[in-house]
Amino acid sequence: MKTAVEAKTMTLVQAITDALDIMLNEKEEVLLLGEDIGKNGGVFRATDGLQAKYGEGRVIDTPLSEAGFVGAGIGMAVNGFLPVIEIQFLGFIYPAYEQIMTHASRIRMRTMGHFTVPMVIRAPYGAGVRAPEIHCDSTEAIFTHMPGIKVVCPSSPYDAKGLLIAAIEDPDPVLFLEPMRCYRSAKEEVPEGKYSIEIGKGNKLMEGDDVTVITWGAMVPEAMKAAELMKEKNTHCDVIDLRTLFPLDKDMIAESVQKTGRTVIVHEAHATGGVGNDVLAIINDTSFLYQKAPVERVTGFDAPVPYFGFEDHYLPTPARIQQAIEKVMKF
């Protein structure tokens, strides 16, 4: 017998499929576009079975042309559809950069709301899965710097489903980043049916009064491991999964750093120009006088994401995060 909120255990990538399925079923205007998303179900199987269920007219295999199908998606979005576009890997989004920067993100502004682009661009991102070069980029900051597009990055199956539904229902373009390292690494109970999570809201994963650890995406499990280990040393962390990178959850950040006075920001993207710097700006603007120690950042280096033979050296690890936590504690 079904209860009102039956749940199913699923991986992050299955939660994505579930969200797409629900939205395709609910709204005729929702269309999926991307490379190999039809019969093949996407290279990560995020659209597995959806073409068979909804047909080639709604789950559309496109030519191999990121600028072309993102541009066409803009044309479809201004003409009444809700395209959900899959970019195979974030590292291959660059040909579409111009379409996103000069059109998707600013058509509402240019036309004062006459034309709008309710479109979602999904992109797996990040290192740590032994993928070939360029497949591992984490260049979210390129897009958080663009006015007019929201950037979302879930780390768990539950969040992925709720945030993707919210992204599809958002009246503006949303870049939806999927940490491929988390695609199948963990399972959790995900409610059946439709629910959404508000874009722009973080999630407190652990409560602690000593240090705030702020992170997102594939670094969430790493930060949680570090925070667990620090408990044994009697240091208690507030761990925040930002979930949305634009707009950042200012209130959650301020509340936590005012409580702890000590902060470690963790991201796998390059340090310079990274979203961590915007988190720092929020701390500066809201909580300067509460700070007991300079904020530490644990990030990827200012080097291109290396070939996977080196990626374990590039990515922040629980050990590096712990070291930073100890540093802010000892200051």
Partner 1 sequence: MENHFPIRRIMDENGNIINSDYEEKITEKLVKEFYRHMVRIRIFDRKAISLQRQGRIGTYAPYEGQEASQVGTAAALRENDWMFPTYRDHGAAMTFGHSLRNILLFWNGRNEGCVPPDGKKIFPPAIPIATQIPHAAGAAFAERKKGTANAAIAYFGDGATSEGDFHEGLNFASVFKAPVVFFNQNNQYAISVPFNKQMNSKTIAQKALAYDIPGVRIDGNDVFMVYFETLNALERARKGEGPTLIEAVTWRYGAHTTADDPSKYRDQSESSNRRQETDPILRLERWMKNMGRFDEKWVQTIEKKAADEIDKAIAEMEDFPPADPAVIFDHVFAEPTWQIKQQKEEYLKLIGGGQ
Active site residues: 135
- Dihedrals phi, psi of 320, to nearest 5 degrees: -65, -40
Dist. CA 18–CA 50, nearest whole Å = 10
Which of 8, 36, 43, 71 is the binder for partner 1 (CB under 8 A)?
A: 71
Q: In whole angstroms, how close is the CB of 311 to partner 1 at the nearest point?
A: 30
Per the CB < 8 A criterion, the answer to whether 260 and 213 are in contact is: no
Dist. CA 168–CA 75, nearest whole Å = 16
Lay out the site mask for partner 1 across 132-161 (x = CB under 8 A, - = otherwise): ---------------xx-x-----------
Residue 309 interacts with partner 1 (CB under 8 A)?
no
Residues in the chain: 331
Structure tokens at 225: 């491991």
DSSP 219-262: HHHHHHHHHHHHHHTT--EEEEE--EEES--HHHHHHHHHHHS-
What 8-state DSSP symbol labels residue 96?
G
Indicate the residue among 282 and 324 with the shorter CB distance to partner 1.
Answer: 282
Q: In whole angstroms, how close is the CB of 27 to partner 1 at the nearest point?
A: 14
Stretch that binds partner 1, among 47-55, 91-99, 183-191, 292-300 (CB under 8 A): 91-99
Which of 54, 81, 216, 314 is the binder for partner 1 (CB under 8 A)?
A: 81
Stretch that binds partner 1, among 19-27, 72-80, 179-187, 317-325 (CB under 8 A): 72-80
Chain residues binding partner 1 by CB under 8 A are 31, 57, 62-63, 65, 67-81, 95, 98-99, 102-103, 107-116, 147-148, 150, 171-172, 200, 246-247, 250
